[in-house]
Amino acid sequence: MQKIDDFDWDYLYEKAEEYIKEFIPEAHVNHGTMTLHGANPIVDVSFPEKGNKKVIKYLLEQKCIQYRRGTNTKGTRIRNLGVIFSEDGKTLYTGKW
């Protein structure tokens, strides 16, 4: 099993940004956060919830997306999601938890 520092996080941030911006162009990848769930690396992304509810519902149905709690900032609801990658850190996660 790989350790958290064994992954190429710059590559993961880039791939997560490419994926999430297909659906939500104003999304922000939270560089500097490194999370593992078991052996799978997860990249945190955030974006405004307003105007994106249908896309959020679609994304939450994908196996490569993990729900994260949101926050309220200056009257705006910010949604946080995790983009899950495979154990080798090269592709988006497609299996089961």
Residue-wise burial string across 8-18, b where 16 or more C-beta atoms lie within 10 A, e elsewhere: ebeebbebbbe
Per residue in 26-49, pLDDT (tens digit) is 999 999 899 998 899 999 999 999
At position 56, the amino acid (one-letter code) is I
pLDDT of residue 94: 87
Per residue in 51-69, pLDDT (tens digit) is 999 999 999 999 999 999 8
Q: What is the C-alpha to C-alpha distance for residues 29 and 42, in angstroms, rounded to an integer?
A: 11
Residue pointed to by tokens 């999370």: 35
pLDDT of residue 10: 95
29 strand-pairing partners: 45
Q: What is the C-alpha to C-alpha distance for residues 93 and 46, in angstroms, rounded to an integer?
A: 19
